[in-house]
């Protein structure tokens, strides 16, 4: 099959295509018309979805395309099942686009894989292998699995994952391009890697459970971001921590009323087994804090409350460090990704009270009650330095689409990998 050529035009489409038509066809391809568009990038995204829906499997971008225009087309054109292929426009951005697109594809494929194929160990192994492939001998890998988590004191990951026959894992990948094993760690990325979330004994409905293969979207996003930063010339030492588990029901699963004691002495009463992401992330944040890194970014598909607040267009940003929060938002703006700040104050640490422990893991009401996303962030704040200096929490509301939209395909989006990668370079 020959390539289907796609070009951009600032001229309106011929009248036979309709008033202000965004797309017209010819014998060899299509033209996207931007002349009357109030949002040219969205027009490109909608046109890309139109072409993909026509089952056009090979496109070649022709003429004058900017990096952002090509990236937007690729984000919207590339569906998860039998995706089409793209030949980039002949511009100076071709190599940059290839590196970015490789990170996009890795992130999306990881999230879109079936939960049967993506066990916690498989998630950790695939992430480790990809980072190792990119970094070679600059990358070292350590995995703590199953009962070894309990022995090491990583009680959040252990308890959430012990209900499954497939053991939970804490992955630690160390990218150290300095060649000095004693070099300080510049940043740590922590990802929630719940490969399937049934809700545990706080079981979800079938509708609520259908897309829960995406609950490891945080792990995929930070892995994709680190890989992208590495292929973009990152010179800093960065650790990647993935907190991987299946949240399932069995005779060995954790239960409501259990109390988990963490390495820092914080005790947590489980009042909702479906608020498991924060329980595994707590271990990752404790390990990240141990490294002394001045920047810690965690990413998670953590709360429905963030989606209620922001829809599926923005990722929510939380931090008690004003400078770190502003730097994260500036990185997102520079990378043309949508991030938005939500409140996090010291008092949010105490918004999930417990009579039996230092804190509960949520509030015993639907969705965790009002300010659920901020309360979840407040819970996590117990596991970093008391002032939260250098820590940014990302609640990934825009990580996954349960159905296709006019401008995005169904499934994982990989939104956020560019912003996190830039943050690693610039912080």
List active site positions.
204, 278
Please state, in angstroms and rounded to a whole number, the distance separating the CA atoms of residues 223 and 278: 19
**Token pair in block for residue 282:** 């707590």
- Which of left, alpha, beta for 390 (phi over 0: left; psi -120 to 50: alpha)? left
Residues in the chain: 427
- Start-to-end Cα distance in the chain: 46
Order of strands across the sheet that contains 85-87: 23-25, 29-33, 4-9, 58-62, 85-87
Q: Is the dihedral of CA 375, 379, 380, 386 positive or negative?
A: positive
Which residues lie below 8 Å from residue 380, measured CB to CB, with a gap of 6+? 278, 281, 282, 285, 298, 393
Which residues lie below 8 Å from residue 30, measured CB to CB, with a gap of 6+? 4, 5, 6, 7, 23, 24, 47, 51
- The pair phi, psi for residue 61, each rounded to 5°, is -80, 120
**Token pair in block for residue 395:** 């609640």
**Token pair in block for residue 106:** 């890795």
HSE-up of residue 274 (Cα within 13 Å, Cβ side): 18
Strand 58-62 and strand 169-175: the pairing is unpaired
Nearest to 33 by CA among 52, 17, 12: 12
**Token pair in block for residue 10:** 């600032």
For residues 141 and 171, is the Cβ–Cβ distance under 8 A?
yes
């Amino acid at each position: 099959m020959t390539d289907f050529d796609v070009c951009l035009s600032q001229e309106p489409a011929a009248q036979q295509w309709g008033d202000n038509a965004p797309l017209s066809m010819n014998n060899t391809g299509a033209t996207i018309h931007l002349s009357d568009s109030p949002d040219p990038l969205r027009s490109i995204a909608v046109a890309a979805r139109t072409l993909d829906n026509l089952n056009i499997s090979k496109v070649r971008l022709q003429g004058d395309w900017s990096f952002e225009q090509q990236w937007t087309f690729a984000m919207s054109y590339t569906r998860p099942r039998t995706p089409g292929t793209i030949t980039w426009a002949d511009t100076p951005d071709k190599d940059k686009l290839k590196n970015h697109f490789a990170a996009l594809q890795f992130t999306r494929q990881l999230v879109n894989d079936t939960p049967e194929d993506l066990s916690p160990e498989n998630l950790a192994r695939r992430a480790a292998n990809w980072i190792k492939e990119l970094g070679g001998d600059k990358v070292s890998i350590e995995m703590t699995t199953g009962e070894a988590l309990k022995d090491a004191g990583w009680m959040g990951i252990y308890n959430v994952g012990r209900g499954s026959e497939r053991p939970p894992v804490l992955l630690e990948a160390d990218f150290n391009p300095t060649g000095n094993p004693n070099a300080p760690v510049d940043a740590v990325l922590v990802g929630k890697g719940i490969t399937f979330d049934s809700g545990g004994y706080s079981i979800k409905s079938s509708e609520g459970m259908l897309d829960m293969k995406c609950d490891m979207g945080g792990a995929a996003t930070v892995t994709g971001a680190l890989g992208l930063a590495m292929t973009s010339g990152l010179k800093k030492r960065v650790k990647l921590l993935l907190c991987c588990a299946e949240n399932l029901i069995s005779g060995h699963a954790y239960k409501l009323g259990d109390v988990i004691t963490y390495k820092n002495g914080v005790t947590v009463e489980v009042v909702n087994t479906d608020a498991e992401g924060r329980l595994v992330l707590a271990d990752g944040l404790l390990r990240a804090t141990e490294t002394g890194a001045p920047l810690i970014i965690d990413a998670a598909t953590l709360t429905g409350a963030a989606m209620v607040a922001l829809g599926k267009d923005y990722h929510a940003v939380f931090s008690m460090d004003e400078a770190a929060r502003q730097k994260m938002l500036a990185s997102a703006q520079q990378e043309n990704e949508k991030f938005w700040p939500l409140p996090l104050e010291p008092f949010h640490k105490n918004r999930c009270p417990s009579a039996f422990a230092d804190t509960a893991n949520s509030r015993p009401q639907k969705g965790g009650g009002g300010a659920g996303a901020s309360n979840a962030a407040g819970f996590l704040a117990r596991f970093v330095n008391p002032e939260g200096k250098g820590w940014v929490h990302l609640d990934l509301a825009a990580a996954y689409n349960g159905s296709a939209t006019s401008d995005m395909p169904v499934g994982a989006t990989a939104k956020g990998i560019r912003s996190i990668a830039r943050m690693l370079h610039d912080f």
